[in-house]
Amino acid sequence: MNLAITDVRLTPILVADPPLLNTQGVHQPYTPRLIVEVVTADGITGVGETYGDTKYLELARPFARKLVGRQVGDLNGLFPLADEVAVDSSRVLGQVDVGGLRGVQTADKLRLSVVSAFEVACLDALGKALGLPVHALLGGKVRDAVEYSAYLFYRWADHPEGVACEKDDWGAAIDPAGVVEQARLFTERYGFTSFKLKGGVFPPDEEIAAIKALAEAFPGHPLRLDPNGAWSVQTSLRVAEELGDVLEYLEDPALGTPAMAEVAAATDVPLATNMCVTTFAEIKEAFTRGAVQVVLSDHHYWGGLRNTQQLAAICRTFGVGVSMHSNTHLGISLAAMTHVASTVPNLHHACDSHYPWQSEDVLTERLTFEGGRVAVSDAPGLGVELDRDRLALLHQRWLDDDGSLRERDDAAAMRVAEPEWETPAVPRW
Ligand SMILES: O=C([O-])C(=O)C[C@H](O)[C@@H](O)C(=O)[O-]
Ligand SMILES: [Mg+2]
């Protein structure tokens, strides 16, 4: 068996995205993703995916060249290798990450988001070579299916008039009734039983009303609200007070560890984050100050599946819960999340996934949710297969784009509908 990497293929694509609203604006009609393929000397191909904006591509390209000739099983070696790739200072100095809404951008965060796709691709190739599923390479699954939550968004029915886009049948959701109707569709279509609402879009009282309407329509079901740090400490505490008895957790109500710690000190509602703890360096302060009770362990942010397991072990040590986040991702990442989630013993919350919003994929067969769960594949590798025609088509869309959609920019997309729109200052309320 020759497991040397002989080729690495990078394919940037644009995939359809509905007009989902968040505190910074609205999703563009197409969003960039990067598909990574790692090929071994024996002709085995492993796949991974991550963000596709230029700031990631410009790191992925030199990194891919460095991988050729290395062993596909040398996963630990990926990290020092990534450190050799220079990050342009313009990408980090004073830059806030827009796409993932995860706070200040650092060289480390950018590198890890790139490494994650290569780690997944290497694990996929290794698993195929050995005839083992990825979860077995991670130590084995402790569950046969992974539970996901319905990721509810305020949204318009369509992108603004005149914007080229793919249509969908979800309809608008801009008030409590619309949010409840969207939740019903999620349950009918996928069987989800827990619900997360992306907040920070409307004044807090409207979002409180939406959560109360969900609690009434789905009594006893776990509910979460995530305004991406849009509220002050005082507003966060008021929302916690109003919704305390129906929320499973409040996600990133206020921005940054100090503000989260202040909120946490004054409420019993658990706080979750995928913004103030997204790297190992951020754990110590947040955990020792009791700022977060649940970490959403996005494997793209953390640098892959094995780092996600390490994060889960640290959470276990500190009595902090683990959930999972991932935005605007396709089936490769859903498969990767499902494999790693199946190996984490202390995963006590349903994971987030945007997958139902992503109507397009690069796989021959889409992954499916049964009763809100994705079955853990026992096929070799991730258990997914690339559809090369689809990949080529979505890549062609990327090639044809004039550059305006190659960077995620929710504020720019919002300006199409509201020309005066500026990314709101935080706290917004
Ligand atoms: O849980 C989260 O914070 C996210 O999913 C961040 C994303 O950027 C989400 O807000 C989005 O895609 O609009
Ligand atoms: Mg969040």
Output the pLDDT for position 103: 74
Kindly state the tokens that stand for 354: 């945007």
3-state DSSP assignment of residue 20: strand
Percent of the chain with pLDDT strictly greater than 70: 99
Give a yes or no: residue 419 inside a domain. no
Whether the per-residue pLDDT at 88 is higher than 60: the answer is: yes
Give a yes or no: residue 154 inside a domain. yes
- 100: pLDDT confidence band, cut at 50, 70 and 90? low
Is-contact 349 385, C-beta < 8 A?
Answer: no
Give a yes or no: residue 411 inside a domain. no
pLDDT in tens, 317-344: 999 999 999 999 999 999 999 999 999 9
Output the pLDDT for position 124: 99
- Please check whether residues 127 and 28 belong to one and the same domain: yes
Whether the per-residue pLDDT at 17 is higher than 60: the answer is: yes
- Please check whether residues 128 and 153 belong to one and the same domain: no
Is the ipTM higher than 0.95? The answer is yes
- Please check whether residues 193 and 222 belong to one and the same domain: yes
Whether the per-residue pLDDT at 233 is higher than 60: the answer is: yes
3-state DSSP assignment of residue 177: helix
What's this model's pTM, rounded to 2 decimal places? 0.97
- Please check whether residues 164 and 248 belong to one and the same domain: yes
Ligand 1 atom nearest 296 alpha carbon:
1
The residues with which 145 forms a beta bridge, in sequence order, are: 375
Is-contact 283 258, C-beta < 8 A?
Answer: no
Full residue range of the structural domain in which residue 24 is found:
5-132+387-401
pLDDT in tens, 189-227: 999 999 999 999 999 999 999 999 999 999 999 999 999
Bond into 18 cis (ω within 30): no
Output the pLDDT for position 414: 98
Q: Any idea what the CATH number is for the domain that residue 114 is in?
A: 3.30.390.10
Q: Any idea what the CATH number is for the domain that residue 262 is in?
A: 3.20.20.120
H or E stretch including 30? strand 30-40
Ligand 1 atom nearest 22 alpha carbon:
13
Kindly state the tokens that stand for 36: 């990574």
**CA dist., res. 56 & res. 59, Å (int):** 5
Give a yes or no: residue 272 inside a domain. yes
Whether the per-residue pLDDT at 89 is higher than 90: the answer is: no
Which of 55, 141, 325, 329 is an active site residue?
325
- Please check whether residues 90 and 153 belong to one and the same domain: no
**CA dist., res. 428 & res. 235, Å (int):** 10
Output the pLDDT for position 337: 98
Q: What value, to the nearest 5°, has the Cα angle with vertex 187 and ends 185 and 193? A: 145
Question: How many A from CA of 296 to the centre of ligand 2?
Answer: 8
Is-contact 346 318, C-beta < 8 A?
Answer: no
DSSP string computed for 32-93: EEEEEEEEETTS-EEEEEEE-SHHHHHHHHHHHHHHTTSBTT--TTHHHHHHTS---GGGTT
Whether the per-residue pLDDT at 96 is higher than 80: the answer is: no
Candidate of 226, 228, 351 to mutate for ligand 1, largest count of ligand atoms within 8 Å of Cβ = 228
Give a yes or no: residue 355 inside a domain. yes
- Please check whether residues 69 and 171 belong to one and the same domain: no
- Please check whether residues 41 and 156 belong to one and the same domain: no
Percent of the chain with pLDDT strictly greater than 90: 95
- Sign, CA torsion 303/307/312/315: negative
- 102: pLDDT confidence band, cut at 50, 70 and 90? confident
Annotated binding site for substrate, which residues? 27, 106, 151, 196, 226-228, 274, 325-327, 354, 408
- Among 222, 293, 254, 337, smallest CA distance to 23 is for 254
Output the pLDDT for position 90: 87
Whether the per-residue pLDDT at 179 is higher than 70: the answer is: yes
- 99: pLDDT confidence band, cut at 50, 70 and 90? low
Q: What value, to the nearest 5°, has the Cα angle with vertex 270 and ends 325 and 51? A: 15
The residues with which 26 forms a beta bridge, in sequence order, are: 21
Question: Which ligand neighbours the alpha carbon of 352 most closely?
Answer: 1
- Please check whether residues 126 and 220 belong to one and the same domain: no
98 vs 365, higher pLDDT? 365
> What's the domain count of the chain?
2
Candidate of 24, 148, 149, 198 to mutate for ligand 1, largest count of ligand atoms within 8 Å of Cβ = 198
**CA dist., res. 221 & res. 29, Å (int):** 32
- Please check whether residues 63 and 124 belong to one and the same domain: yes
- Within 266-360, residue ranges assigned H as helices are 283-288, 299-302, 305-318, 331-343
**CA dist., res. 405 & res. 390, Å (int):** 19
pLDDT in tens, 386-414: 999 999 999 999 999 999 999 999 999 99
Whether the per-residue pLDDT at 182 is higher than 80: the answer is: yes
DSSP string computed for 198-227: E-SSS-HHHHHHHHHHHHHHSTT--EEEE-
89 vs 175, higher pLDDT? 175
Q: Is 101 in the pocket of ligand 1 (CB under 6 A)?
A: yes
Rounded alpha-carbon distances, angstroms, from residue 408 to 50, 51, 66, 286: 13, 9, 27, 28
Kindly state the tokens that stand for 133: 């599923």
**CA dist., res. 293 & res. 309, Å (int):** 17
DSSP string computed for 136-161: HHTT--S-SEEEB-EEEE-B-SSSPT
- Please check whether residues 67 and 85 belong to one and the same domain: yes
Active site residue 198: yes
Question: How many A from CA of 197 to the centre of ligand 2?
Answer: 10
Q: What is the DSSP letter of 237?
A: H
- Please check whether residues 169 and 105 belong to one and the same domain: no
Whether the per-residue pLDDT at 379 is higher than 90: the answer is: yes
Give me the residue label for tokens 């410009």. Answer: 58
Is-contact 155 20, C-beta < 8 A?
Answer: yes
Whether the per-residue pLDDT at 423 is higher than 70: the answer is: yes
Output the pLDDT for position 105: 86
Rounded alpha-carbon distances, angstroms, from residue 369 to 11, 192, 338, 350: 27, 8, 11, 13
Output the pLDDT for position 98: 63
Which amino acid, one-letter code, is at 261? A
Give a yes or no: residue 418 inside a domain. no
Output the pLDDT for position 196: 98
- Please check whether residues 142 and 41 belong to one and the same domain: no
Whether the per-residue pLDDT at 289 is higher than 90: the answer is: yes
Residue nearest to ligand 1 atom 8, measured at CA = 100
Average pLDDT, rounded, for the chain: 96
- Among 147, 141, 148, 134, smallest CA distance to 47 is for 134
Give a yes or no: residue 422 inside a domain. no
